[in-house]
Amino acid sequence: MRKTFLGYIIAIVILIVSIWLGVSIGSVKVSISTLWNTAADPTATNILWKIRMPRVVLAGLVGASLAIAGAAFQGLLKNPLADPYTLGVSSGASVGAVVTLFFGISTPILGIYTLPTFSMIGALLAMMGVMAFARLVDRTLKMETLILTGIIVSSFLGSVISLMIALTGEELRQIIGWLMGSVSMRGWPYVKMVWPFVLIGSFLLWLNRRELNAMLFGEERAKYLGVDVKKSKIMILTGGSMLTGAAVAVSGTIGFVGLVVPHMTRLVFGADHRHLLPLSFLNGASLLIICDLVARTIIAPTELPIGVITAFIGAPVFSYIFFRQRRTKGA
C-alpha cells in the first residue's frame, strides 16, 4: 500500500518537473515564473502560453492516452507486447484521420470532434479486424500471432494511406509531417479537440480496472469470478480505441509509448490494474513531454519527429520483453 502511494507521489513529481522543463527549455529561455508573474515580458508570456504550454499539454495528453490504452490492451489480451502501435490500431486511427482530411469530411453535429471521432472509428475497426483475423489463425491468441497480425494490418493500412497521399497532391507535405508523429505547432484548438476523448476513454478503462485484473487469469476464470466478460471487453476496446483515436488525430502515429510505460510501471508496482492504469497515465504523460523536449532540442534548430525518439527507446524495450517472455516460456 505504501509502495503504491509512493508511486503516485513520484509519478506526480516527475510529471511536474517534466512540465516545468518542457515549458522553460527551448530556443528562448522562459522562466517558469512567467506563468504567474503578470509583470513578465509579454514576448515570454506569449511564447509560454501560445506555443510551449499547449504543446506540453498536448504531448502529455497523447502520452497519457497511449500509455493507459497500452496497459489496458496488454491486460485484456494477456499479451505484454500489445500496444496501439504494435496491434495496428494506430494505423487504423491514421486511416480514419486521413480519410477525414482527404474527403474534407465535416459534420455539423460533431463539429471540431469530427477528426478524433473518425480516428476512433478507424482504430476500433482495425482492432476488431486484427482480433478476428488472429483468432482465425489460432484460437488461443498467442502473443506472436497477434503481433504478426498487427504488422500485416499496419502494412496494409499504411499502403492505403500512401495511396491517398499520392492522390492528394498538394496537401501531401502536411499529411506526411503529421504521419511521422509530432505535437508541434498544434496549439490550444487541438487540446480542446481531444481532451473529452481522453477523459471518457480513460474513465471507461478505469471502470474496468478490477475486471482487467480478473481477465489476466483468462476469460474463463474471469467469468467464474463474476465478471461480465462481454460487456467489459466492449468497454475496454471502445475506451482503448477512443484514446488511440484521440492521440493519433492530433499527433499522428507515435509508437511504443503504450508498450514502454506500462511495462516499466508493472516492473516496479506490479500488475494490479487499479494502480497500473492511473500510474501509466501519469508516467505516459511525463515520458512524452520529455521525448518531445528531446526531439525539439537535440539537434536544434531542426526538430526531429517525436516518433523517432519513442522508437529509439521503445524498440529495445520491445526486444527485451519479447526475449524475456520467450525465455521464461521456453524453459
Partner 1 sequence: MLTVEHITGGYDAAKPIVQDVSFTVKKGGILGILGPNGSGKSTLLKVISGILPSTNGQVLIAEQNIKTFSPKAFARKIAVLPQLHAHAFSHTVRETVTLGRYPHQNSWFSTWSEQDEEAVQKAMQQTGVDCYEHTNLEFLSGGEQQRTFVAQALAQQADILLLDEPTNHLDIAHQRQLLDMIRLEAVQNGLTVVSVFHDMNLASLYCDQLLLMEKGRVRAIGEPHEVLKEQQIFEVYNTRVSSYPHPELPKPQVTLMPSVSESHAPYVVTKEQFKIRDEFVELRTDFPLKAVSSAVHNAGFGWFQSFVNRAVDLNYMCEDAHEELKRYLEKHDFMPSNTVAMMTAVAVEHVVIREFSSSIGSIIVAVTAGVGNAVDVSRAHERVSAPYIGTINTWVIINGKLTDESFMQAMITATEAKTKAMHSEEIMDPISNTIATGTSTDSLLIASTQSGTFMEYAGPITDIGKLIGRGVFETTVIALQDYKRAKGWI
Is 195 buried (19+), middle (13-18) or exposed (0-12) by CB count in 10 A? Answer: middle
The yes or no reply on residue 255 touching partner 1 (CB under 8 A) is no
User: Which listed residue (8, 180, 223, 322) binds partner 1 by CB under 8 A?
Assistant: 223
Q: Output the smallest distance, CB 326 to partner 1, in A.
A: 12
Q: Which of 124, 153, 214, 285 binds partner 1 (CB under 8 A)?
A: 214
Cβ closest to partner 1, residue 71 vs residue 304 = 71
218 binds partner 1 per the rule CB under 8 A: yes
How far, in Å, CA of 297 to CA of 276, rounded?
A: 31
Q: Which long-range contacts (CB under 8 A, 24 or more apart) does 156-159 make?
A: 157/88, 157/91, 157/92, 157/94, 157/95, 157/126, 158/91
Q: Using the minimum distance from each CB to partner 1, give the nearer residue, 50 or 142.
A: 142
Burial 10-35 (b: 16+ CB within 10 A, else e): ebeebbeebbeebbbebeeebeeebe
CB 87 within 8 A of CB 146: yes
Q: How far is the CB of 220 from partner 1 (least distance, A)?
A: 6
134 binds partner 1, rule: CB under 8 A = no
CB 90 within 8 A of CB 69: no
Nearer residue to partner 1 within complex by CB, 52 or 275: 275
CB of 100 to partner 1, least distance (A): 35
What does the per-residue mask of binding to partner 1 show for 57-96, with x meaning CB under 8 A? -----------------xx--xxx----------------
Q: Report d(CA 157, CA 149) in Å as an integer.
A: 12
Q: Does 138 bind partner 1 (CB under 8 A)?
A: no
Q: How far is the CB of 310 from partner 1 (least distance, A)?
A: 23
Instruction: Give counts: helices (H), strands (E), the chain.
Output: 14, 0
CA 134, 137, 140, 144 dihedral sign is negative
Per-residue binding letters, 225-254, with partner 1 (x by CB under 8 A): xxxxx-------------------------
Neighbours of 151 (CB within 10 A): 14
* Residue in 241, 256, 271 with CA at minimum distance from that of residue 313: 256
Q: Which stretch binds partner 1 (CB under 8 A): 8-16, 119-127, 207-215, 241-249?
A: 207-215
Per-residue binder mask for partner 1 (CB under 8 A), 260-289, x = binder: ------x---xxx-x---------------
User: In the complex with partner 1, which residue's Cβ is closer, 39 or 331?
Assistant: 331
> Cβ closer to partner 1: 174 or 319?
319
Q: Is 5 in the site for partner 1 (CB under 8 A)?
A: no
Residue with Cβ nearer partner 1 (41 or 272)? 272
306 sits near partner 1 (criterion: CB under 8 A): no
Cα 222 to Cα 75, 206, 234: the distances in Å are: 12, 17, 15
- Listed in sequence order, the residues at least 6 apart from 223 whose beta carbon sits closer than 8 Å to its beta carbon are 229
Query: By 3-state DSSP, what share of the chain in percent is helix, strand and coil, each rounded to 5?
Result: 80, 0, 20
The distance of closest approach from Cβ of residue 127 to partner 1 in the complex, given in angstroms and rounded to an integer, is 19
Q: Number of residues in contact with partner 1, rule: CB under 8 A?
A: 30
Q: Which 8-state DSSP code applies to residue 129?
A: H
Instruction: List residues binding partner 1 (CB under 8 A).
Output: 74-75, 78-80, 143, 207, 210, 213-214, 216-218, 220-221, 223-229, 266, 270-272, 274, 325, 328-329
